[in-house]
Each structure stands twice: as C-alpha cells, then as structure tokens.
Structure 1
Amino acid sequence: MDRPELPLQQLHAFVVLAEELHFGHAAARLGIAQPPLSQQIRRLEDKVGHALFHRAPGRVTLTPAGRELLPAARRALTDLTDGLAAARAVGSGRTGTLRIGFAASLALTVLPGLLRTFRHRFPGVRLDIHEMTTAPQIAALHDRTIDIGLLREPPADQPELGFRTVLSEPFVAVLPAAHPLAAQRTVRLAQLADSPFVLLPREVGPQLRDRITGLCAEAGFTPRTAQHAVEWQTVCALVETGLGVSLAPASIRRIRLKGVAFRRIEPGDARTRVAVAWRENDPNPLVAHLLAAVGQDRPDRV
C-alpha cells in the first residue's frame, strides 16, 4: 500500500496549531482566516486516518495520534528549511565543491596565492585539488572530472574550453653545476646544441614540449633527448646527475638542488604561458568565482 504524501503546508498548519492549541491564535500566526486553517487540519486528518486534535468549547488538545505526528512534522519542516538554505548556498556559489587540476610547477607560482584569495572569499567551499600535467587536465575538463585547470601552454584547438592567460614567465637553462656553461651568467640557446637534453614526454604536455623544441629550432638545432621525466623536480634531479641539460620555466629555480645551476638564456623573450582553463558555459557558479579571483594577488609576468 502506498504511503500518503503529506503536503508541507498542512504540516506547517498542524505544527502551529499544536503549539498554539487555539484555532484563532494559530490562524493569526499563519496569516490566514480560521476556516481555511480548519480545512487544512481536516485534510491532514483525512490523510492520517485519525483525529489529530480533540476539539471542545474553549479548548483544543492533541490526540495520541497528534502527539506522535508532531516530532516528525517538525523534523520534516526543519529538513525542508535546511535543504532550501543549502540549495540556495550551493546555487549562489557560497558552498559546494570545486575540483581543480594544476601543473606541479604552478605550486611554485600562481597556485598558493590563488587558493588563499579564493578560500578567503568563499570559506564554505571545499577545494578538491588534483596534480596533473596539461594533457590529462584537458581530458579531465572534457570528462567533467575537474572544473578548473591551471596549465602551461594551452592548446589552440579546444572550442568547448575557455582559456585565460594568468602568468608569463621566462625560460631558464637547467645545467649540471659542473657544466662549463654554468660559469656564465647568461647562456645562448645555440650553446646547448651539443648537450643531451632531459625533457618532458610530449604526451603529457605537447604544447610545452613543442614550445621548448621550437625555441631550440629557432636557435639552429634539434635537441637530442637523453632522458624523459614527467615532473620538473625529476628533470632537475636527472640534470644534477649529469644526464643532460634542460630548458624550464624560471619558477623552477625555487627547487633547491646543490648540483644544479639555473641560468638566464638568450634570446631573453623566450617565455612560457600559464593559463586557467574551464568549460565554456559551465553553470557551476564556483567556476565564475574562481575566474574572478584570478589575478588578485599575482603578477602577469615574472
């Protein structure tokens, strides 16, 4: 047998009458006339199948059925009120979960300031942070497993995604400390032509890999890859062992390794672009809030 549905308006009227135990007072509190209140109570009693109130001249009391229903009716109204408040908070972007993918090197630049700004403005939002390289971020945005990406060298052929540049930083040469060029303050790219390279594999960051090899091509050579590494920390560690040299964003200098030297390169306009990425027309208000927070406490260039 199906359970009858109890309209919340009738439950509200029942709770108010149970608290007032006076039809006139309850009707005034509800802002309605007494006859409509009586009709709502009668309809509720018809659904329950039992009287909820004893009615006597000058006196109204709860029946055993009414006393049993009262706590459940109050819980239902409280749950509804709480649910509406929660829905409004999520709908306005004051609460909820925002899933962010980020390239590991950005923990050295834009990520900390951006998260501080966002958390200060929206302390009720849960941030679900995932470290991943550019290609997996693009896939995760399309798969809707992240809402925001922070990546290097965004691709140009993603019409469903939006990109905004948030940082431009120069490349530096990453050299073993014992490398002859480490004695120089500035290295011309062409001077690295005979050195083996430690590079990111193209499948995890194709645009960044192509940017690096393109700079080498402009300097007149194709880099000879001796070793691949997915993370910049690993790239630097492999350079320290003498396996090769590399080109990296300048923020990588914050990785402190005694056996690694970071040197400015010529041409000096060789820079890498950091962008925030999102799905176009994403209805999640948290995405718009994050985009508004971008740039609040961070320079566009380093």
Structure 2
Amino acid sequence: MLQQSDELLTEMGARDLSATRSLRVGITTAVNPDFFTDITPLFERDFPDHRIDIKRQISLRSIKDVGRGALDVALIGMPSQTDGLPFKLLLEDPLVVAMPATHRLAKKRNISLIELREDHLFWFNRKLNPSYYDHCEQGFNRFNFHPERLPEPEEHHVLLGLIAASQGVALMPSSLRAIQHRSVVHKELREASHFKIGVAIIWQQDQPPSHVSAFINMLTAHCANPAQA
C-alpha cells in the first residue's frame, strides 16, 4: 500500500508539472501589451496544459533570449538583426505623432515632419535596435528632419507624462495610441508610408514543437484579420 501511495503521488506530481508548462513569449515594448488579449484564451483552450508567460522587453534582448533558449517565441520590431533565427512578419504599424494637447498643431488632423523641426523629439538610443534606428535615420535625412533629440524613457507611461508636460513630442507605433493620457493627443504622420515599424515573430527551430507552431499560426491569423481571429 505504501508503494502504491508513493507511485500515486509521483504520478500526481508529474501531472502537476505538466499542468504548469509555459509558453515563454517575449514582446517588444513597441507593441501594446493588450495584443494577446484575444490570443491567450484560444491558445489555452487548445493546449490546456500550457499557459502563456509574457516577458516585455526590447527586441534585441528577446532575440538573444530566443537564441539561447530562454524564450520559446518573441514578437520583435523590424527591421532587426535576427541572428539567423526563423521569423515571420505579422504586420506593419505606421508611426504617429504624440504631442501635448496644448501644442500649436494639436487641432490639425495630420502632421508633417517639417512642421516638427522646431520641437524636441523623444527618440531611442541606437544601441537598443541599430537596424531600425538606421532605417529611420535614412528617412529623416530624406525629409531633412533633424530636430533636437531627447532620450526616450523605457516606460511608455513615463514618456506620455513628459509629453503631457510639454517637454517634447514623439513618433510612436499607431497601436500604442490605445494607451491614453488625457493631456496627450495623437496625430497621423503625412510621411507615414516611409515610417513604419514591422512586427515579426521569431522562434528557435525550423520545425518548432506543435504548441509553438499553433501559437505562431494563431498570431498570423489574428494579424491578418483581427476582427475574426
């Protein structure tokens, strides 16, 4: 009886371990964290022994974590150096202008870069994503846009607070407009066709496990038709 009890406890322990298996997902800070709101229940319905654990961080760090096996998949901003990892482009998100509600241009429907030349621009450090930084620099040079720059804070709510205090303006992915601040307005950028951030999913293996492959397919369907995915 003691032996049978031990075997039962061992089996239950194994089931408990199975029930707590995680799909480790990195997500770029350039994407609204609510991106997974619709995906999580669908995934956990099909894979009830898994749960999604999200690690929100810059793309460069996620790429390294996927490469060393610390993450199963990651959403990253593109263009990026993916270190040879397989990836799929999910969508392109145009940049918009975030400015104080009291800004001189706040009543306009859309804004041109030329109109922002005298403003301070919150912008990220090149080391965070050299490929995307250089991509944007080419666009800035093309439109002769060289404003004075301020370091962009890591936390998005801090950035919005600084913009609300009229410290500067920012160019940010359109999807982040969902994170609101009552003293900040978002305006479409006339040159948006030249300034987009791609969102891609990367993984470690050419033939990923079934649960990873299913998650990739769910995200692909969600981005192709978010209203029906």
TM-score, normalised relative to structure 1: 0.65
Matches within 5 A, 1:222-237: 222-237=146-161
Matched, 1:264 2:220: no
TM-score, normalised relative to structure 2: 0.83
Alpha-carbon distance between aligned partners in 1 of 2:226 and 2:197, rounded to the nearest angstrom: 10
Matched, 1:138 2:63: yes
Task: Tell me the SS of whatever aligns to 2:37.
Answer: helix
Matches within 5 A, 1:1-302: 71-75=1-5, 96-108=21-33, 110-156=35-81, 158-159=83-84, 161-269=85-193, 270-281=195-206, 284-299=209-224
1:147 counterpart letter in structure 2: D
Partner of 1:66: none
Kindly state the Cα deviation for residue 81 of structure 1 after the two structures are TM-superposed. 6.9
Q: Which deviations, in whole Å up to 9, do the C-alpha atoms of 1:124-147 show, x marking residues without a partner?
A: 202222111111111211221111
2:188 counterpart letter in structure 1: R
1:108/1:254 contact within 8 Å kept: no
Closer, same or farther in 2 for the Cα pair 1:81/1:254, shift >3 Å? Answer: closer
Alpha-carbon distance between aligned partners in 2 of 1:172 and 1:231, rounded to the nearest angstrom: 18
Task: Tell me the SS of whatever aligns to 2:118.
Answer: coil
Alpha-carbon distance between aligned partners in 1 of 2:94 and 2:156, rounded to the nearest angstrom: 15
Task: Tell me the SS of whatever aligns to 1:234.
Answer: helix
Structure 1, unpaired ranges of 5+: 1-70, 88-92
Kindly state the Cα deviation for residue 265 of structure 1 after the two structures are TM-superposed. 0.8
Kindly state the Cα deviation for residue 271 of structure 1 after the two structures are TM-superposed. 2.1
Q: Which structure 1 residue ranges, 4+ long, deviate > 6 Å from structure 2? A: 79-87
2:86/2:205 contact within 8 Å kept: yes
1:170/1:250 contact within 8 Å kept: yes
Q: Which deviations, in whole Å up to 9, do the C-alpha atoms of 1:187-207 show, x marking residues without a partner?
A: 112222222111122233334
User: Size of the alignment, in residue pairs?
Assistant: 226
Greater per-residue helix proportion: 1
1:152 counterpart letter in structure 2: G
Task: Tell me the SS of whatever aligns to 1:246.
Answer: strand
| Aligned sequence identity (%) | 21
Kindly state the Cα deviation for residue 95 of structure 1 after the two structures are TM-superposed. 7.2
Alpha-carbon distance between aligned partners in 1 of 2:34 and 2:197, rounded to the nearest angstrom: 13
2:79/2:197 contact within 8 Å kept: no
2:30/2:77 contact within 8 Å kept: no
Closer, same or farther in 2 for the Cα pair 1:215/1:300, shift >3 Å? Answer: farther
2:88/2:201 contact within 8 Å kept: yes
1:95/1:122 contact within 8 Å kept: no
1:175/1:182 contact within 8 Å kept: yes
More RCO (CA 8 Å, sep 6+): 2
Alpha-carbon distance between aligned partners in 1 of 2:161 and 2:132, rounded to the nearest angstrom: 20
Q: Which deviations, in whole Å up to 9, do the C-alpha atoms of 1:141-162 show, x marking residues without a partner?
A: 1221111111211424521x11
1:198/1:246 contact within 8 Å kept: yes
1:238 counterpart letter in structure 2: L
Alpha-carbon distance between aligned partners in 2 of 1:180 and 1:232, rounded to the nearest angstrom: 23
Task: Tell me the SS of whatever aligns to 1:166.
Answer: strand
Alpha-carbon distance between aligned partners in 2 of 1:82 and 1:287, rounded to the nearest angstrom: 25
Kindly state the Cα deviation for residue 227 of structure 1 after the two structures are TM-superposed. 2.8
Kindly state the Cα deviation for residue 78 of structure 1 after the two structures are TM-superposed. 5.1
1:135 counterpart letter in structure 2: L
Closer, same or farther in 2 for the Cα pair 1:133/1:194, shift >3 Å? Answer: same
Q: Which deviations, in whole Å up to 9, do the C-alpha atoms of 1:49-106 show, x marking residues without a partner?
A: xxxxxxxxxxxxxxxxxxxxxx25535765787799899xxxxx99732111112343
